[in-house]
Amino acid sequence: MRALVTGGAGFIGSHIAERLVRTGHAVRVLDDLSAGKRANLAAVAGDVELVVADVRDAARVDELARDCDVIFHEAAIVSVPYSVEHPIQTNGVNVIGTLNVLEAARKQGVRRVVFACSAAVYGEDPAQPKTESMLPSPVSPYGVEKLASEHYLAAWSRLFGLETVSLRYFNVFGPRQDPSSPYSGVISIFVSRFLAGQPVTIFGDGEQYRDFVYVDNVVDANLAAATRDGISGRAFNVGCGRRTTLNQLVAILGHITGRAVLPRHEAPRAGDIRESLADISRARRELAYEPRIDVDEGLARLVEDVRRG
């Protein structure tokens, strides 16, 4: 197939692009390089058409969707606290960007759009694990934007017969997740600090938990979502189905790296949810998804990768 990966020079998008190339597909990447990097595609640079463009630019997105069979829509501003501080900007990228992708797909006759949605759509509902049939109730601009996008996907599927699949990622981690900003994912920050022998900060008591999922599993889910029949308009949780508290994360990283780091505690962040755990039975059933790499194995691989540089 010929695929367009928006955000394809970013963390998750570059892993999808790389797997697509390695399995014989033609890949075009749209990325504005605001968070993504050319270096993330270094391993497949000769086989990927990288176009530096902004997903808010409807005409460019339309042009790049031409002749594509599938679009993997990963371009987004991914930080919950950043969305609390800059909601107009994140809405522009995260919602208008999705609409541009859907309109381009419809006009250009793209068969299917696979969307990087988020567990943030569930919000603070205390029921765990999260199942896709629960009523979403996001508590951050970011969660609202991902939910709005997901509704647009389902509507475009009904209105225009465009095939759409929404993958509700839980907390994805792995190589190439940029640790350099306070808005970065917690594992990327913690791993780089552990290896540098620097302290880590936990916002809250550290008993909040997440369903951390290694990026290769997320790529598996994307490939299945792009190719399986009978799933258009559907949403799927993509996690491991295992909870890890931040305190446990610190302990596991201490074990893997052989370094003891004492965390500092600060007040919880605005917009954060406390607990998040996926029920992945729908993805297992309908996508034949199975998280092949568990959290411990994923963390060990990540530490190894960061050590190698």
Residue 142 and residue 118 in contact, taking contact as beta carbons nearer than 8 Å: yes
Tokens of 95: 């919602």
- For residue 123, is it left (φ>0), alpha (ψ between -120 and 50) or beta? left
Q: Does residue number 184 form part of the binding site for ligand UD1 (CB under 6 A)?
A: yes
User: How far, in whole angstroms, is CA 238 from its chain's centroid?
Assistant: 9
Q: Give residue for tokens 């570059």.
A: 14
Q: Quick check: helix, strand or coil at residue 106?
A: helix
Single-letter amino acid code for the residue at 124: E
Per-residue contact track with ligand UD1, 268 to 297, x per CB under 6 A? Answer: -x--x---x---------------------
Shortest spacing between CB 82 and ligand UD1, in angstroms: 8
| φ/ψ (deg, to 5) at 165 | -135, 130
Catalytic residue among 142, 152, 209, 214: 142
Q: Does residue number 189 form part of the binding site for ligand UD1 (CB under 6 A)?
A: yes
Shortest spacing between CB 110 and ligand UD1, in angstroms: 24
**Given candidates 136, 185, 291, 298, which one binds ligand UD1 under the rule CB under 6 A?**
185
Q: Is 142 a catalytic residue?
A: yes
Q: Does residue number 244 form part of the binding site for ligand UD1 (CB under 6 A)?
A: no
Nearer residue to ligand UD1 within complex by CB, 92 or 183: 183
Q: Quick check: helix, strand or coil at residue 221?
A: helix
**Given candidates 80, 219, 224, 283, which one binds ligand UD1 under the rule CB under 6 A?**
80
Residue 219 and residue 306 in contact, taking contact as beta carbons nearer than 8 Å: no
Residue 56 and residue 95 in contact, taking contact as beta carbons nearer than 8 Å: no
Tokens of 285: 């059933």
Task: Mark the segment that binds ligand UD1 (CB under 6 A) among 77-85, 88-96, 100-108, 300-308.
Answer: 77-85
Q: Does residue number 236 form part of the binding site for ligand UD1 (CB under 6 A)?
A: no
Q: Which residues bind ligand UD1 (CB under 6 A)?
A: 78-80, 118-120, 169-171, 183-186, 189, 201-203, 208, 210, 246, 269, 272, 276
Residues with catalytic roles: 142
